[in-house]
Structure 1
């Protein structure tokens, strides 16, 4: 994992981590996913993940999987949509950066 991350970093490719099943990490989030960013346990795990993988904490997204739900859960969707929105923004910035480098070479 570290070798892949290092290679991506050298190429300037941003990396993100999905921290899944956060509803099972603490009672606070199990009862209400809207508490995800209030949970000290989740913040602790994000920091540990950041240290272990070398990815900044703002690039680690706590999300929840649809693993037992039988219907749509807006809280689950909002967490994933927020993460994907930021990823698309970063990907767009990366493409613009690469495009600008290409234009400078020509």
Structure 2
């Protein structure tokens, strides 16, 4: 993390790397192939595995798919949690610095 800003990786097109996931996105978190891809991405980018989020793109689908939506929403929720934590830390940092500056006056 640079300057406390959280980094996330959205690992897209996971259906292209795993036949199991291609048949059903609900199998994402039990797929060894997806797990290996997450591990590789985490290692290459030097991030924890928890910051690599597998998602499937809507490409060929003509209607919404609940499983794909759940995967996307899970990744979105996790990114919002990271953003919320970052903003909370920024607020705490500003409060601490304001108190320090007020003590100097």
Q: State whether TM-score is above 0.5.
A: yes
Distance 2:34 2:14 in 1: 7
Return the offset for 1:10.
Answer: 2.9
Q: How does 1:49-88 map to 2 (within 5 A)?
A: 49-88=41-80
For 2:30, the equivalent position in structure 1 comes to 38
Asked whether 1:101 is paired with 2:93, we answer yes
Structure 2, unmatched stretches of 5+, are 99-105
Name which one, 1 or 2, has greater alpha-carbon Rg.
2
Structure 1 vs Structure 2 CA RMSD: 0.7
For 2:21, the equivalent position in structure 1 comes to 29
Equivalent residue pairs, number: 98
For 1:5, the equivalent position in structure 2 comes to none
Distance 1:10 1:50 in 2: 16
Structure 1, unmatched stretches of 5+, are 1-8
| Structure 1 consecutive aligned stretches of length 4 or more whose deviation exceeds 6 Å | none
